[in-house]
Structure 1
Amino acid sequence: MKKKINDESYLTLDENAQYFECGYSCDNGLFLKIGDNRFFITDSRYTLEAEQEAIETRIVESSDLFRTAADIINKNSVKDIVYDPNQITISAFERLKSHLDSKKELKGSPNFHRFKRIIKTESEIKLIQKSQKLNKEAYKNFAKYLNECKIHLSEQDLYYFSQQFLTHNGKYDLSFKPILGINANAAKPHALPSKKDKIKYGDLLLFDAGIKYQRYCSDRTRTAFFDKSGIVFKKCQNFKDKDLQKIYDIVLCAQEKTIKLLRSGMMGKEIDGIARGVIEKSGYGKYFVHSTGHGIGLDIHELPFISQKSETVIEDGMVFSIEPGIYIPNFYGVRIEDLVVVKNGRAEVI
């Protein structure tokens, strides 16, 4: 499944791709690979740090990244340079093109670097596992805080305090801004926190969050019931509302069945079909409004996508989420998410 680009020449502006290639990145950098030669082009603000951090890569200082990249390309015998058209603006493309010799060609290949990273190494898998472990610890500490807090906090307050636990008081970065919804707000898959909605006993709380460990992302979602005995972000939940309990159990069944049945060799859409089939059979198909999962690594959303349209063939070493959901507008939403790695043809929960 990995695109065979190891012997090709390519450039990237994406920071995570830069980091993957040489162990360093910055917000004004261009990584260029020509055969066995590797260049990191950046301005004088970053060259010293780049020289200290980048691995097996020549650092080139420049005030015009594209012109310098073109000069290097022109001096080499390479004819084609691969780039990701999703990363580069038209004006930047035209500027780069204008400095290239007429015999040199820029070959657009969308997401080529994500294809390169689609199968994780054992060391990458361990970093994602560590990231998810720290994420789970943050969930426990956040739950403890909620259970000890005597004030009924708003979603906006919860959103603020959750980040302290997720980052372990600033030690780690977030994979993404956490998603947090009480009751009806949980019916919005990517809800924004509300000032007026405050959590109280008997409420549903959906919490979707992740952190980064050595730049590798984690991601997890739990939907929990908050009562006087406290909130626990576990899969076993008991709601007083029978309809809500039914919906929760359907989502849980869809998630666990998908994890149990997915195999290497399946396409992403086949795996999506397992979860979607459970929910559709239960009569809630129209309320499952997103895909079943996404890849994760240096980016929070990577390949493969586990969606209705994905024809990506799943292989050992791929890491992705399984996160079905049911969202009833104006009432509540339920989503349960875990990360899995495919090993020996089957899914293992991280």
Structure 2
Amino acid sequence: MNFILRDENAVYYECGYSNDNALYLRLGEEAWFITDGRYTFEARERVKNAEVVETNDLPKAARAILRRNRVERILFDPKEWSVDAMAKIRDRLPRLSFRPSPDFSHRKRMIKREDEIERLRRAAQLGREGFETFAGYLRKSGVGRREKRLHFETKSAMSHRGEYDLSFDPIVAINANAAKPHALPTDLVLRKGDLLLVDAGLKFERYCSDRTRTIFVGDEIGFGDDQKFTSRKIEKAYDLVRKAHDTAIEKARSGMTGAQIDRLARDVIEKGGMGKAFVHSTGHGVGLDIHEMPYISARGGTTVEDGMVFTIEPGVYFPGEFGIRIEDMVVMKNGRAEIL
């Protein structure tokens, strides 16, 4: 198979190293990692099963390899490439056929190897430890702090004080701000009796974790699943989301499509009368990227198989009032979903 990549995680998957200025070119059994002089030394130490090519003109070097090998067709993922970047690769190669293959690398990476699953498991475990560290901060100093400060403290706790990179910028939202699924931190101040939603993750050896909890800020603050709220509406919504979360994980099976697993969670929330408040998909694949295939959504046509890792994260959102989401990562193993 002939293909060319430029996405950092796609390149890393192929050869064990990547940077922000590299191309990966594979022609049958041969491969080239093309980069500039800033990265050559490290690339030659880390790149596996590919020849490292140093150049100050990456497209020109790629064209030379393609021309020398008389390549007639090559695959590329159009989601990785800008029009300008693709034009530079095509330049002076009028006879070469570039075949678009959307999500090319994501499709290759859907079924995780055992070593990848163990990295994802470790990322999830470290992420849980980060949540526990943040809970300790909340108990000691969190009440009376603004969301912006809580957001900063979440990043510190989740990164284990800078030891690990984050999977994404955390979401930390109080009460009505939690009704925005991708809320930005504000000047809202955390008080006793508030609802707090936290969505965060970290990377272990480049592999991501992703977890969300919604909690009641009372005398005892923790990120366990058992939460009790003073508002009957919030309590009902929380119990419904938790039931949807647990049901989808319990009933998910290899051989189902992403849409069928999405339906497991969505049916629970719809039967509970809050279907219109569930405004996003039930989950997404996780790996080197925080959002990968398979997509656990109403349009998720991919058949889920053993070795796939994805989130289950149902939620309900009531603008101006509150939002609730509960999320865990699972791996399909022996036909069933196992929480990482």
Same fold by TM-score, threshold 0.5 exceeded? yes
Q: Name 1:189's counterpart in structure 2.
A: 181
Match of 2:50 in 1: 57
Residue from 248, 253, 275 that aligns with 2:238: 248
Matched, 1:48 2:38: no
Which amino acid counterpart does residue 168 of structure 1 have in structure 2? H
**Inter-partner Cα distance in structure 1 for 2:286 and 2:163:** 21
Q: Choose which of 127, 131, 137 in structure 1 pairs with 2:129.
A: 137
SS in 1 for 2:134: helix
Question: Are 2:154 and 1:162 equivalent residues in the alignment?
Answer: yes
Residue 293 (structure 2) aligned to one of 281, 288, 303: 303
Q: 2:218 matched to which residue of 1?
A: 227
Matched with 2:307 is 317
Q: Assess if the C-alpha contact under 8 Å between 1:71 and 1:99 holds in 2.
A: no
Distance 1:15 1:9 in 2: 18
Q: Distance in 1 between matches of 2:92 and 2:281?
A: 42
Per-residue deviation, 1:267: 0.7
Q: Which amino acid aligns with 1:84?
A: D
Deviation per CA, 1:112-136: give whole Å up to 9, x if none: 0000000000000000000010000
Report the TM-score, using the length of structure 2 for normalisation: 0.98
Question: Counterpart of 2:218 in structure 1: which amino acid?
Answer: D
Q: Rate the CA distance shift 1:21–1:150 in 2: closer, same or farther, 3 A.
A: closer
Which position in structure 2 is the counterpart of 1:349?
339
Answer yes or no: is the 8 Å Cα contact 2:143–2:191 preserved in 1: no
1:73 shift after superposition = 1.1
1:156 partner SS = helix
- Answer whether contact 1:304 1:320 (CA < 8 A) is retained: yes
| Cα distance, 1:53 vs structure 2 | 1.2
Which residue identity does 1:18 align to in structure 2? V
Aligned residue pairs: how many?
A: 340
Runs of 4+ in 1 over 2 A off after TM superposition: none
Does residue 71 (structure 1) correspond to residue 56 (structure 2)? The answer is no
Counterpart check, 1:198 vs 2:174: no
**Paired AA for residue 96 in structure 1:** I
Mapped to 2, the partners of 1:99 and 1:234 lie a distance apart of 60
Aligned equivalent of 2:248: 258
Per-residue deviation, residues 28-79 of structure 1 (Å, max 9, x unmatched): 1001111111100011111111111111210001111111111101111432
Contact 1:67 1:99 in 2 (8 A): no
Whole-angstrom CA distance in 1 between matches of 2:324 and 2:101: 37
In structure 2, C-alpha distance between the alignment counterparts of 1:132 and 1:273, rounded to whole Å: 25
State the match for 1:109 in structure 2: 101
Q: Mind listing any 5+ residue stretches in structure 2 that lack a counterpart?
A: none
Q: Of residues 177, 182, 188 in structure 1, which corresponds to 2:169?
A: 177
Contact residue 181 and residue 317 of structure 2 kept, 8 A: yes
Q: Distance in 2 between matches of 1:66 and 1:105?
A: 16
Q: Where in structure 2 are the equivalents of 1:210-221 lying within 5 Å?
A: 210-221=201-212
Q: Is the CA contact (8 Å cut-off) linking 2:315 and 2:324 kept in structure 1? A: yes
SS at match of 2:300: coil
Determine which of 10, 14, 18 is the counterpart of 2:7.
Answer: 14
- Residue identity in the other structure for 1:21: E
User: What amino acid sits opposite 2:127 in the alignment?
Assistant: N
Q: CA deviation at 1:151?
A: 5.3
Q: Is there any run of 5+ residues in structure 1 with no aligned partner, and where?
A: 1-7
**Are the counterparts in 1 of residues 142 and 150 from structure 2 also a CA contact under 8 Å?**
no
Per-residue deviation, 1:18 = 1.0
Letter of the 1:201 partner, please give it. K
Contact 1:326 1:334 in 2 (8 A): yes
Among the aligned pairs, what percent are the same residue? 48
Deviation at 1:150, TM superposition (A): 6.9
Q: Distance in 1 between matches of 2:303 and 2:221?
A: 39
Q: Tell me the SS of whatever aligns to 1:234.
A: coil
The answer as to whether partners of 2:178 and 2:197 remain within 8 angstroms in 1 is yes
- Normalising to structure 1: TM-score of the pair? 0.96
Within 2, Cα distance between the matches of 1:212 and 1:138? 12
Q: What SS does structure 2 have at the residue aligned with 1:99?
A: coil
